[in-house]
Amino acid sequence: MNVYSIVRTLSIVSVLSGLGTVFAQDFVEMLRTIDQRSNFAADFAATFTMERIDPEAGEDNRTVQVFRRDEDDAFLLLIQKPETQLGQGYLRIEDGLWFYDPESRQFTFTSLSEAFEGSDARNDDFGRSSLADDYQIVETREGTLGRFEVWIIELEALNDEVPYPFKTLSITKEGALLLKSEDYSLTKRLLRTSFFPSYARVGDNLIADQRIFVDALVENKRTSFTISNISTTDLPDSVFTKAYVERVNR
Amino acid sequence: MQLAKIALRNTTRQLKRTLLLGGAIAFGFFVFTVLNGFTGGLIETVQFNFASALGGHIYISGTEVSELGSEISVIGDTEAVLGALGTIDQLIASYNTRSSANTSIIFGAREENQRLIGADFGQEDKVLGAMNFVEGTPEAFLERPDGLLLPQDVIEKLGLEIGESVIVKTNTISGQQNVADLVVVGSLNPQDAGFGITLGFAHIEALNTLLDMEPNEFQTLNIYLDDLALLPAATGTLYRELKNVATVEPRTGGSRGPNFARAFGLGRVNRVAEDERWQGTKFSVTNLEDRMEGVMSMIGVMENISLIIFLVILVIIMVGVMNSYRMVMIERTVEIGTMRAMGVQRSGIRSVFIWEAFFIALGGALAGLVAAFAVMAGLELFDFSSSSWSFFLKQGHIQFGVGFFDTVVNMALLCVMSIASVYLPARSAAQLRPAEALRASF
pLDDT at A95 (0 to 100) = 65
CA distance A236 to A233: 10
pLDDT for position B330? 85
Contact check, Cβ <8 Å, B109/A109? no
| B212 and A CB contact within 8 Å | yes
pLDDT for res B178: 94
Q: How high does pLDDT run on average in chain B?
A: 84
The alpha-carbon gap from A98 to the nearest alpha carbon of chain B, in Å, equals 11
Q: So where are chain B's domains?
A: 2-49+294-439, 54-287
What phi and psi values does residue A105 have, to the nearest 5 degrees? 55, 40
Complete DSSP assignment for B225-277: ES-GGGHHHHHHHHHHHHHHHSEE------S-SHHHHHHTT----EE--GGG-
- Residue B243 distance to chain A (closest CA, Å): 28
3-state secondary structure of A123: helix
Res A4: pLDDT: 55
**Higher-confidence position of B442 and B275:** B275
Cβ-proximal residues to B343 (8 Å cutoff; 6+ apart), any chain: none
Smallest Cα distance from B64 to chain A, Å:
14
Cα(A54)–Cα(B31) distance, integer angstroms = 51
Query: Residue B267: what pLDDT?
Result: 47
Domains of chain A: 3-248 (2.50.20.10)
Whether residue B296 is predicted with pLDDT greater than 80 in this model: the reply is no
What's the distance, Cα to Cα, between the start and end of chain B in Å? Answer: 30
Does A163 contact chain B (CB < 8 Å)? yes
Is A191 in contact with B175 (Cβ distance < 8 A)? no
pLDDT greater than 80 at residue B138: yes
Q: Which residue of A has its CA nearest to B71?
A: A161
| pLDDT confidence band for A103 (50 / 70 / 90) | confident
Residue A236 per-residue DSSP state: P
Percentage of the residues of chain A whose pLDDT score is greater than 90:
42
3-class secondary-structure state, position B312: helix
Q: Tell me, what's the ipTM? A: 0.79
pLDDT of residue A67: 92
Nearest 10 degrees: CA dihedral of B9, B10, B14, B18?
Answer: -90
Q: How close, in Å, is residue B267 to chain A by CA atoms?
A: 10
Query: What confidence score (pLDDT) does residue B441 get?
Result: 67
A139-143, B200-204, B297-301, B353-357 — which is least confidently predicted?
A: B297-301
Which residues in chain A have their CB less than 8 angstroms from residue B70's CB? 161
CB contact under 8 A, B269 and A163: no
pLDDT value for A20: 46
Contacts of A205 (CB under 8 A, 6+ apart): A37, A38, A39, A40, A232
Taking residues B72-84, what's their average pLDDT? 87
